[in-house]
Amino acid sequence: MTRGALELVCPAGTPSALRAAVNAGADTVYCGLRDETNARNFPGLNFSDAELAEAVTYAHERGAKVMVAINTFAQAGRVAIWARAVDAAAAAGADAIIAADMAVLGRAASHHPDVRLHLSVQAAAGTPEAIRFYVERFGVQRVVLPRILSIPEIKALIGEIDIEVEVFAFGGLCVMTEGRCDLSSYVTGRSPNLDGVCSPPEAVSYSRQDGSRSVALGGLTIDRQADGQPLGYPTLCKGRFVAGGKTAHLFEDPVSLNTIDVLPQLLDAGVSALKIEGRQRGKAYVEAVTRQFRQAIDALGGPDGPAAAGAAMLNTMAEGQRGTVGAYKKTWR
């Protein structure tokens, strides 16, 4: 069910977050199973097989859809774990499987042809040729674009392909090309693309000395700030480093993606769906962000546009209390 001009796809790290998203107006909710087959493999998150089946029933009764992210890369000798996840998603009645690994896509296409396949952002498919390969080989019906393309680039890409396009609209901003980043694994020994976890919490530590606070990942200091200044969760791509004699973030400052002001341009570009990031966030966050984007999408085409939906509140939910449109306007340093 798509009530607005753009499908609103919202995160659910837990069953309670899924119910919150559905009740706040999500068209679709995406979640993962409780293992390394999904890219948010953190303790306390995700769904058992039984919880997933219950969640699908709950969503369907209220006119919403459920997609299951099986979006890490299967490991040699352990492919059965990913195959089991595909079968579990299909058995639960999921509306779509989000995947990047070709073995996972192949399993879904051959064993469960009635389940839609969406190409995960982890596949890093940002060209017509790459996207067509997955469409022709596996029957993929939607692609989630990497967060490195501008709106004009997205519009040009959509003009050359014939499947649905989903883009990220709000939440944590990955400044690397998803699916190709190995930074976390170098420091912590655990890969976001294989183990489903970037900057695992057991590798994170905070310390205070001489009026400043530091945050480290795997024993490597990522950032240091004076007491009272915000200190974000440590990921290497958002750390501060000395380069060219200056200490600064090398890419985008650690703030959240917020596309609320460019929704009309994304719609004009031909985007089919907007994805909210945040399966690690609580149900209050999920509910608030879902509700604001629901109002903004429904306001598209109205006299005041999405700004009338009170979207300024979203910055209070953002990392660093600030938002950015990231690569959509190519404002990165």
In one-letter notation, the amino acid at residue 275 is: K
Where in the chain are all domains bearing CATH 3.20.20.70? 7-173+255-329
Residue 18 has pLDDT above 70, yes or no: yes
Domain 7-173+255-329 -> CATH class = alpha beta
- Mean pLDDT, rounded, for 57-70: 98
Q: pLDDT band at 259, cuts 50/70/90?
A: very high
Q: CA–CA separation, 38 vs 101, rounded Å?
A: 11
**The pair of three-digit structure tokens given for residue 145, joined into one six-digit string:** 């674009």
Taking residue 231's Cβ as centre, other Cβ atoms within 10 Å add up to 18
**pLDDT confidence tier of residue 199, bands split at 50, 70 and 90:** confident
Residue with tokens 């690569």: 327
Task: Write down the H helix ranges in the chain.
Answer: 15-24, 49-61, 79-91, 102-111, 128-138, 151-158, 183-188, 263-269, 283-299
> In this predicted structure, what is the pLDDT of residue 179?
67
> Which is it for the CA torsion 202, 20, 5, 38, positive or negative?
positive
The model's pLDDT over 77-110, given as tens digits with 9 standing for 90+, comes to 999 999 999 999 999 999 999 999 999 999 999 9
Tokens of 195: 């183990």
51-72 burial, b at 16+ Cβ within 10 Å, e below that, comes to bbbebbebbeeeebbbbbbbbb
Exposure class string for 275-313: b at 16+ Cβ within 10 A, else e: bbbbbbbebebbbbbbbbbbbbbbbbeeeebbeebebee
pTM attached to this predicted model: 0.85
Mean of pLDDT over the chain: 88
Q: What is the pLDDT of residues 289-319, one digit of tens each?
A: 999 999 999 998 766 665 544 556 787 777 6
Q: What is the DSSP string of 236-264?
A: GGGSEEEETTEEEESSS-S-EEE-GGGHH
Average pLDDT (167-178) is 82
Query: How confident is the model over 25-52, as pLDDT tens digits?
Result: 999 999 999 999 998 888 889 999 999 9
Residue predicted with more confidence, 42 or 323: 42
